[in-house]
Chains A and B, each alone.
Chain A
Amino acid sequence: MNRALVEFGVLCALAILVCGFVGYARRCGGPRADGGYRERSLLNPTVIREGVVRWTTTTDHKDIGLLYIAFGTLAALWGGVDAMMLRTELLTPAADVWSEATYNALFTTHGVTMLFFFVTPVFFGIGNYFIPLLIGADDMAFPRINAIGFWLLPPSLLIARAGLPSQVTAQILGALTSGPLVDFFGVLEEPGIGWTLYPPLSTTVANPQIDLLLLGLHLSGIASTLGAINFIVTIFYERETSWATLDIFSWSMLTTSGIVLFAFPLLGSALLMLLADRNLGTTFYAISGGGPILWQHLFWFFGHPEVYILFLPATGLMSQILPKFVGRKLFGFRFIVYSTLAIGVLSFGVWAHHMFVTSMNPRLSASFMAVSVAIAVPSAIKVFNWITTIWDGNIRLAAPGLLCIGSIGTFVVGGVTGVFLAAVPVDVFFHGTYYVVGHFHLITVGIIPMMMIAASYYWYPLITGRWYDRRLARFQVGLLIVGSVVTFGILLVLGFQALPRRYANYPAEFASLQQIATVGGYLIGLSAILWLYNMIWSYWNGDRVDDADVWDLKATDQFSREWQWLEDRLDRKYDLPPSEPETVRPAYTTEPEKGSPHVLSDPRGLVRSVLDDTLYGAIGGLLGTLAMSGVLFTGAFIGVFDVAAFAELGGLVGFGDDALVGYLTFLLGGVTTWAILFRAIAEFLPGRVLVVTGLSYATIMSTGFAVAFYTGQTGLELVGYLGFVLVAHWLYGLGLAGTIRYAEYRRTVGD
């Protein structure tokens, strides 16, 4: 009920923020001293018309690649909002944030959106952009089919997820009027049947949005098949390189496309039968006909290969990018190719491991178990080859390199937990618990988006001609890795304790683990936003690339085809010769050896006039103490800090238990004693920048304060108390050191 408005509101807010930010980033990237030009306003009608015509009619593989990537990013944000809402629901044991029905709808739409509308489109986008460059083709084999393949996706997403806009329309209309139109829109609700769409649930629930979802999935399957055909033909017929020198990413996209070609038509047929069951009274999946288990066989015969459709391009990117950041060629190239092909074939032979608990014949399940364990071998080969590639390499911790290493780690955990699931007895126990969710998210988050992001950073200079913000990127990567490990590691733990998945309610003893997992989930969400920020901001404001060898690949002889293409283009377009100055230094830096020598100034230089120092120390102390009081009183207002603690102080200095007197004493102390102490020992405290010294000083002091003013808080109150004390002291330290620093600044300028 309320969920539709919440989700819609969040999505609209995101959209407005992003659009506003795009405008802002463009403006900031305006006229430049280096002779750059200001771009025309986005709202200019000509610009809009030209843009619309260009992007809707393009058949250039690079443009279509970008369209795919943009579409996939949008879908990821939509599905990500679902995920955040799921995790929000799980903050409390009872289903009291959203209702149970909403929770069911959320995990359904989350799964569907992520699997069908995020991963495949983004990988197809990367493939579209880079495969022609990597194999030396001019374009894809069928540029127009390529465009059609892309343009089928937006309508399929809209059909599949029409429930949300429809509910929002119904609620807005319903607030104004009532009548058949409102009912019409109100009928479509996001279905809550899980992405596996198992009958009998999916055949008996009346919601017509389920039919639309089936149609949308079918359409996206058609789109993927078109794309896959295009990749296969392109790699076979437009290739300038020989098979022996075909790069690893193209190999994996080729295999993926092969799987798509065999898997998606099957999904299409199964979906059509389900549609017929729902609407035409057929009994393919009814007990009286084929039975619900038939659906499971058909679905997973598609579904398991689908898992590898999602996963193989990620391994291709890993094998492509990792070597560039460890300075060594990919170890065992051939074996990685073989393992990719092996996975392509084997992936069709293991579907029934998703059905171990459907009372299969034990001999049958034993053979499926054997094949399923066997399919771990090619994946393990890949991992060992990656590790061997890293071994003894010259590891560079740029963002893509970090991502590669981090995601090998998460993937190993995700993969190994999968091997256990392939064993029948273990699966019988863990099936339907959070263990499964933890396992597959360690893969679907631990390698798939990570490799996409790695690719986005790695090729960013090639696509945009600019650098992304590299510090921010490294930070974002760290956040993503930590967030994933926390969130999905905890899901594994919950699974070990046999907490069932897909329930909005859970027993209260799991609450703290679930809450930590949610915090981790929000970290992932934050890191996604930081990534988006970086991509948009740097597109107009990043440092320009003036040499195609941005990653120093020539030094290790890994300057691959797509970069040569960039070098040619830079040469042709800007007449930029492929060279670089001997050394470059950033405009400013905080490293002591580099940059200006005065960056880290010495507090000793401060001491000029004792009188001035004392005076400014006192003013600083006053400012700091006042700021501190503000925080403390806020804390008192909330109820985590007890003002009565001041009264004790008053009693201590002999003025009786009066809180006001106590507070004045406190103020006086802050202005004199502690400020003077700071002046005296500032030199010996960590941090050579005065403000940092002040912060360290205040942090140390805060422990004493916390003990002295403690009034018996426990639990959340205690956490709040400590937090407020710490922040109050930081403000004190900043006020103190900041004033002194400012005073010195005034003096220097006045000299």
Chain B
Amino acid sequence: MVREWLLTYGVPFVGSVLLAIGIVGGVMGGYALVQPAIGFCGDPQITVYSAEDTERLREGHTPAGGPELDRLRIAELSPAERRAVRAGIEAPGESISVEGATPHRAAFRRGVLVVADGQAHYVTLATENDCTQVSPLLLPLGIAAGLLGIVGVLTPPIYRRYLAFERSQHGDGESEGG
């Protein structure tokens, strides 16, 4: 009776947990592997506000009421940053990848006013776009746990088949219900 419960509910339950853990390991490990390869991480993304929005945001906040923002001239930016800011001015509010060196990352993270063509634009980091960092063991262990989990989940039917086999071996002539 206990074994019946164990095999019908206990083992598949452990199997399901393993499967879930396996999915975690497999997804994270696998994704960490392919993510840089297919270019899904690395370049940080910035958001540039339009000059009007920047004005509106700053209204009533400077110099006393809000954070003091640094100013950068667009000429000070690295070429990649400059390209990204230019693209951002064209498409305010969208996330733009900075494809290249980003020496002003810290300033972007804090939020900064970039002056281009005489107008200030508020620029912030939209996402750092880090690459997933996980132990290289995670993928193989995840796959192993997943496979083991599948075996666990499939235990009840396998066990029932096995019992049918045992019974047929004893040849007691009962039909092998199915």
Contacts and interface: CB of A to CB of B under 8 A. Distances in A.
Interface in A506-544: 515, 518-520, 522-523, 526-527
Interface in B137-178: 137-138, 140-141, 144-145, 148, 156, 159-160, 162-167, 169-172, 174-178
Contact of A720 (B21, B45, B93, B141): B141
B30 to A, nearest CB: 11
A639 B174 CA distance: 50
Contacts of B165: 745
B126 A101 contact: yes
A515 B21 CA distance: 9
Contact of A723 (B20, B93, B144): B144
Interface in A586-632: 586-588, 590-592, 596-599, 601
Contacts of B126: 99-101
Contacts of B102: none
Given A518-B24, A723-B148, A96 B163 contact: no
A523 B17 contact: yes
B170 A601 contact: yes
B164 to A, nearest CB: 6
A478 interface: yes
A687 interface: yes
B37 interface: no
B68 interface: no
Interface stretch (A87-95, A329-337, A414-422): A87-95
A272 interface: no
A11 B90 CA distance: 35
B87 interface: no
Contacts, number: 145
Given A94-B130, A640-B137, A588 B144 contact: no
A716 interface: yes
Contacts of A515: 24
Looking at chain A's contact residues, is the secondary structure mostly helix, strand, loop, or mixed?
helix
A748 B21 contact: no
Interface size class of B (residues with CB under 8 A): 35 or more
Interface string B104-141: 00000000000000000000001111111111011011
B54 interface: no
Nearest to A91: B28
B148 A727 contact: yes
A634 B40 CA distance: 30
Contacts of A27: none
B172 A596 contact: yes
A52 interface: no
B135 to A, nearest CB: 5
A691 interface: yes
Contacts of A653: none
Interface in A494-512: none
A719 interface: yes
B140 to A, nearest CB: 4
Contact of B167 (A96, A471, A596, A724): A596
A96 B41 contact: yes
A586 B175 CA distance: 11
Interface string A717-751: 10110011001000000000000010011001100
Nearest to A719: B141
A519 to B, nearest CB: 5
A475 B9 CA distance: 6
B164 A717 contact: no
Contacts of B127: 95, 99-101
A599 B19 contact: no
B80 interface: no
Interface in B1-46: 1, 3-4, 7-9, 12-13, 16-17, 19-21, 23-24, 27-28, 31, 35, 40-41, 45
A720 B137 CA distance: 8
A27 B27 CA distance: 34
A679 interface: no
B167 A523 contact: no
Interface string A685-718: 0010101100000000000000000000001110
Which of A99, A715, A719 has the largest count of B CB atoms less than 10 A from its CB?
A: A99
A399 interface: no
A426 interface: no
Contacts of A691: 162
B141 A598 contact: no
Given A475-B12, A588-B163, A724 B17 contact: no
Contacts of A689: 162-163, 166
A233 interface: no
A587 B7 CA distance: 19
Which of B16, B28, B130, B174 has the largest count of A CB atoms less than 10 A from its CB?
A: B16
A596 B174 contact: yes
A724 B148 CA distance: 10
Contacts of B130: 94-96
Which of A88, A96, A474 has the largest count of B CB atoms less than 10 A from its CB?
A: A96
Contacts of A715: 135
Nearest to A205: B93
20 contacts: A2-B40, A92-B132, A94-B132, A94-B133, A95-B130, A96-B41, A97-B28, A99-B45, A99-B126, A101-B95, A474-B9, A475-B8, A522-B24, A526-B19, A588-B164, A588-B174, A588-B176, A590-B163, A723-B144, A727-B144
Interface of A: 1-2, 88, 91-92, 94-97, 99-101, 205-206, 471, 474-475, 478-479, 482, 515, 518-520, 522-523, 526-527, 586-588, 590-592, 596-599, 601, 634, 638-640, 687, 689, 691-692, 715-717, 719-720, 723-724, 727, 741, 744-745, 748-749
The 10 closest A-B pairs by CB, nearest first: A587-B177, A522-B20, A638-B140, A598-B170, A96-B130, A99-B127, A96-B132, A745-B169, A519-B20, A716-B137
Given A523-B16, A597-B172, 4 more contacts: A522-B24, A586-B177, A588-B176, A716-B137
